[in-house]
């Protein structure tokens, strides 16, 4: 009896654990969640500079010059929903020699203001800055997001973009009075730190910085890696580690990249020190392009030329660059242009406070961060088409309803349309995409004999080519261009499916294994919590039966037998899961 009580106790713990795991705050839309996770997994072998992310500026959530801690709850929400870039304006306060978030200096009497939130007039603008909104507070919000998602299943890579600015004054006879008003006090210096590396010190163990990059480069030059695609990307002008390497071998979660330095030169200005240079990227250590909407339109026009050849795509794939497009209050992103920017490889940073969330023909302006996210998030993906992957209740059927034509149906395979990827019925016959094994932007569309996803085998692509899928913005773009040039007809199969575990998309044919088998099944399990007690009883009976009838070793032998069989099968077919 004791044993049964113990087992019941264990089960209740298990259920509690899986439930708390499944209900992440803010992450409510399963389609978006699955799209984000699968796109990340597919991109894992690709260098981090080739992968676009989406994000927002911190100043856009401090509406009307109100800098307070309440607004930061929106940052937490958006991080949980999958925002991967945060642009932060840091102000060097020349009166106090502190990096702070408020664009105005705090007067000495600030702390006597109601709620610690003085109204400050600076350069003809009125700011309301909370003394509690310290840089450490923002770093804590980001760090707690990172630690709460630091598992193989959830980990992603964040880009922290920094604009350096000055709170500047000219020192002269007339400004002595000014210096007295803004003289540092314990309250006004506790809003930030006196160096950049101290400002980001809270998350330093997660930062992928110049010193990490240099270590990696010297390691790579020593040992030539075997993976074909890695070796293709290793020909780039600056060697960048892949997403897998950064997340799962270096255990880094973010980089801090100073994208602009508008500090005003004076005797009280900040000098960048060695510690900063080891931790933070500056434009001379990391090529970064930030574009306005106008510049991005020009850039995309050049990239999206329909006759672009392999040489242009390889040039894009091999020139190391982080590329961002940042909008403004006067020219915000629209639903129409956002997808175009992602398509040509840019990472959009939302910097305005109001967006049109209506469909393409009518205008509904919204400043509500969640509403804007709902409207724009489906367009963030270079891979999935908006609204995909559709999560269906019944993805398989044995009979299509018509008794004469009994046919299998399985909505578990992914095909390409000109607007992105869609989930479709694996039994449909489509053309399919073959990729040059050593040159990922080189595609061949197999048009002659259409096949079902299950039928496509190793021998169906010509020598040197594999049935495959694009893993980055530019690989996707080169595939779309190849379809045009070779007169392919959509839909076209790419090698991606969730046959083994629902919503766990993997490449490597129908037998590819989900790397998160346990996590995903336990989450599904948590969603069917209602019949859990029934499962409990069944499992209990099974455990008891096993206790009674167990014969040692047989179980283990069989396991080994199947493992060997599977391994032989994989070896024979040269399959590999995502991530490898």
Ligand X SMILES: *[C@@H]1O[C@H](CO)[C@@H](O)[C@H](O)[C@H]1NC(C)=O
> Of 431, 432, 430, 412, which is closest to residue 422 (Cα–Cα)?
412
Distance of closest approach, residue 279 Cβ to ligand X, in angstroms:
12
Residue nearest to ligand X (CB): 464
Give whichever of 124 and 487 is closer to ligand X, judged by the CB atom: 124
Q: Is 105 in the site for ligand X (CB under 6 A)?
A: no
Does 109 participate in binding ligand X (rule CB under 6 A)? Answer: yes
Name which of 231 and 533 has its Cβ closer to ligand X: 231
- State phi, psi for 435 to the nearest 5 degrees: -120, 135
Task: Tell me the closest approach of the beta carbon of residue 71 to ligand X, in angstroms.
Answer: 5
Q: Quote the least distance from Cβ 136 to ligand X, whole Å.
A: 5
Length of the chain counted residue by residue: 580
Cα-based torsion angle of the residue sequence 51, 313, 380, 470 in order, rounded to the nearest 10 degrees: -80
Q: Considering the rule CB under 6 A, would residue 378 count as an interface residue with ligand X?
A: yes
Site string for ligand X, 15-34 (x = CB under 6 A): --------------x-xx--
* Token pair in block for residue 570: 């994989």
Q: Can you list the positions of beta strands (E) in 249-405?
A: 254-261, 288-291, 322-326, 347-350, 355-356, 365-366, 396-397
DSSP H or E stretch at residue 100: strand 98-100
Q: How far is the CB of 254 from ligand X (least distance, A)?
A: 17
Residue by residue, DSSP assigns 391-420 as: --S--EES--S-SSS---EEEEEEEEETTE
Q: Any contact of residue 181 with ligand X (CB under 6 A)?
A: yes
For residue 256, whether the previous peptide bond is cis, meaning omega lies within 30 degrees of 0, is: no
Nearest to 22 by CA among 535, 529, 539: 529
Our finding on whether 69 is near ligand X (CB under 6 A) is no
Residue owning tokens 């991080």: 79
Buried b (16+ CB within 10 A) or exposed e, 436-467: bbebbbbbbbbeeebbbbeebeeeebeeebbb
Choices 214-222, 266-274, 435-443, 498-506 (CB under 6 A): range interacting with ligand X: 435-443
Q: Does residue 47 have a cis bond before it (omega within 30 degrees)?
A: no
Structure letter (DSSP) for residue 133: -
Tokens 């509904």 sit on residue: 364
- The single residue among 2, 123, 226, 307 that binds ligand X, judged by CB under 6 A, is 123
Nearest distance from C-beta of residue 174 to ligand X, angstroms: 7
Region near ligand X per CB under 6 A, out of 17-25, 65-73, 297-305, 445-453 = 65-73
**By CB under 6 A, residue 438 contacts ligand X:** yes
Q: Using the rule CB under 6 A, is 573 a contact of ligand X?
A: no
Name which position in 25, 358, 387, 457 contacts ligand X (CB under 6 A). 387
Q: Is 63 in the site for ligand X (CB under 6 A)?
A: yes
Helix, strand, coil shares of the chain, percent, nearest 5, are: 40, 20, 40
Residue from 193, 288, 308, 478 in contact with ligand X (CB under 6 A): 193
Q: Least Å distance between CB 82 and ligand X?
A: 11
Closer residue to ligand X in complex, CB, 105/107: 107
User: Which of residues 41, 49, 130, 442 is near ligand X by CB under 6 A?
Assistant: 442
Least CB distance from residue 133 to ligand X, whole Å?
A: 12
Query: Is residue 65 within the footprint of ligand X (CB under 6 A)?
Result: no
Residues 497, 508: Cα–Cα separation, whole Å? 9
What's the min distance (Å) between Cβ of 521 and ligand X?
23
Q: How far apart are CA 559 and CA 565, in angstroms?
A: 10
Site string for ligand X, 230-259 (x = CB under 6 A): -------x----------------------
Burial environment of residue 262 by CB neighbours within 10 A (0 to 12, 13 to 18, 19 or more): exposed
**Does 359 sit near ligand X (CB under 6 A)?**
no
The yes or no reply on residue 124 touching ligand X (CB under 6 A) is yes
Residues 307-346 that bind ligand X (CB under 6 A): 315, 318-319
115 binds ligand X (CB under 6 A): no
| 468 within 8 A of 512, measured Cβ to Cβ | no
Task: State yes or no: residue 198 binds ligand X (CB under 6 A).
Answer: yes
Beta bridge partners of 322: 288
Q: Hey, which residues between 399 and 428 contact ligand X (CB under 6 A)? A: none
- Which residue is associated with the tokens 């479709």? 424
Q: Is 201 in the site for ligand X (CB under 6 A)?
A: yes
Q: Is 187 in the site for ligand X (CB under 6 A)?
A: no
Contact predicate 445/482, CB 8 Å: yes
Q: Among 85, 271, 113, which residue's Cα sits nearest to residue 195? A: 271
Site of tokens 């269906």 = 392
Nearer to ligand X, 355 or 516 (CB): 355
Residue 389 binds ligand X, judged by CB under 6 A: no
Which residue among 25, 358, 457, 464 contacts ligand X (CB under 6 A)? 464
- Candidates 67-75, 278-286, 392-400, 483-491; binding stretch for ligand X (CB under 6 A): 67-75
Distances (CA, A) of 236 to 50, 208, 279, 315, 317: 11, 19, 23, 9, 8
Which residue in 12, 73, 126, 273 binds ligand X (CB under 6 A)?
73
Q: Determine how β-strand 409-417 pairs with β-strand 396-397.
A: antiparallel
Report if residue 295 touches ligand X, rule: CB under 6 A: no
> Applying CB under 6 A, which residues contact ligand X?
29, 31-32, 61, 63, 70-71, 73-74, 107, 109, 112-113, 118, 123-124, 136, 172-173, 181, 190, 193, 198, 201, 237, 315, 318-319, 367-369, 378, 387, 436, 438-439, 442, 463-464
């Amino acid at each position: 009896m004791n044993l049964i009580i113990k087992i019941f106790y264990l089960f209740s713990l298990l259920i509690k654990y899986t439930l708390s795991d499944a209900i992440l705050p803010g992450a409510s839309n399963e389609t978006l969640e699955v799209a984000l996770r699968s796109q990340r997994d597919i991109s894992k072998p690709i260098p981090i500079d080739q992968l676009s992310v989406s994000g927002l500026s911190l100043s856009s959530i401090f509406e009307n010059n109100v800098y307070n801690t309440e607004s930061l709850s929106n940052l937490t929400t958006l991080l949980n929903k999958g925002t991967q870039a945060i642009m932060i304006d840091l102000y060097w306060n020349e009166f106090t020699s502190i990096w702070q978030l408020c664009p105005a200096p705090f007067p000495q009497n600030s702390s006597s203001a109601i709620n610690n939130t003085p109204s400050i007039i600076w350069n003809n603008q009125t700011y309301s800055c909370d003394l509690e909104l310290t840089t450490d507070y923002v770093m804590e919000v980001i760090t707690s997001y990172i630690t709460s998602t630091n598992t193989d299943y959830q980990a992603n890579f964040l880009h922290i973009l920094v604009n350096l600015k000055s709170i500047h004054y000219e020192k002269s006879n007339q400004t002595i009075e000014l210096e007295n008003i803004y003289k540092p006090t314990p309250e006004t210096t506790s809003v930030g730190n006196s160096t950049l590396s101290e400002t980001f010190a809270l998350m330093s163990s997660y930062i992928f910085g110049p010193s990490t990059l240099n270590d990696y480069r010297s390691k790579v030059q020593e040992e030539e890696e075997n993976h074909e695609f890695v070796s293709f990307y290793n020909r780039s002008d600056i060697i960048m580690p892949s997403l897998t390497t950064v997340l799962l071998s270096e255990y880094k979660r973010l980089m801090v990249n100073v994208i602009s330095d508008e500090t005003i030169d004076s005797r009280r200005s900040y000098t960048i020190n060695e510690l900063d240079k080891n931790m933070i990227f500056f434009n001379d250590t990391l090529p970064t392009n930030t574009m306005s909407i106008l510049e991005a339109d020009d850039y995309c026009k050049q990239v999206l030329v329909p006759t672009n050849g392999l040489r242009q795509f390889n040039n894009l794939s091999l020139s190391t660059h982080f590329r961002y497009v940042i909008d403004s209050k006067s020219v915000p992103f629209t639903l129409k242009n956002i997808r175009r920017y992602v398509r040509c490889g840019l990472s959009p940073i939302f910097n305005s406070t109001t967006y049109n969330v209506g469909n393409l023909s009518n205008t509904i302006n919204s400043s509500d961060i969640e509403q804007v996210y709902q409207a724009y998030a489906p367009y963030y993906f270079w891979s999935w088409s908006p609204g995909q992957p559709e999560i269906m209740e019944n993805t398989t059927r044995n009979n299509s309803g018509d008794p004469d034509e009994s046919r299998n149906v399985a909505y578990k395979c992914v095909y390409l349309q000109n607007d992105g990827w869609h989930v479709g019925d694996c039994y449909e016959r489509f053309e399919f995409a073959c990729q040059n094994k050593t040159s990922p932007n080189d595609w061949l569309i197999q048009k002659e004999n259409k096949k079902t996803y299950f039928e496509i085998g190793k021998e169906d692509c010509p020598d040197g080519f594999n049935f495959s899928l694009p893993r980055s913005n530019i690989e996707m773009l080169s595939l779309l261009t190849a379809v045009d040039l070779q007169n392919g007809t959509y839909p076209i199969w790419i090698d991606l499916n969730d046959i083994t575990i629902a919503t766990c998309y993997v490449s490597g044919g129908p037998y590819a294994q989900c790397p998160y088998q346990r996590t995903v099944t336990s989450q599904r399990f948590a969603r069917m919590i209602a019949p859990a007690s029934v499962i409990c009883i069944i499992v209990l009976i099974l455990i008891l039966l096993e206790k009674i009838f167990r014969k040692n070793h047989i179980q283990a032998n069989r396991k080994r037998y199947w493992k060997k069989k599977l391994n032989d099968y994989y070896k024979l077919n040269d399959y590999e899961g995502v991530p490898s």
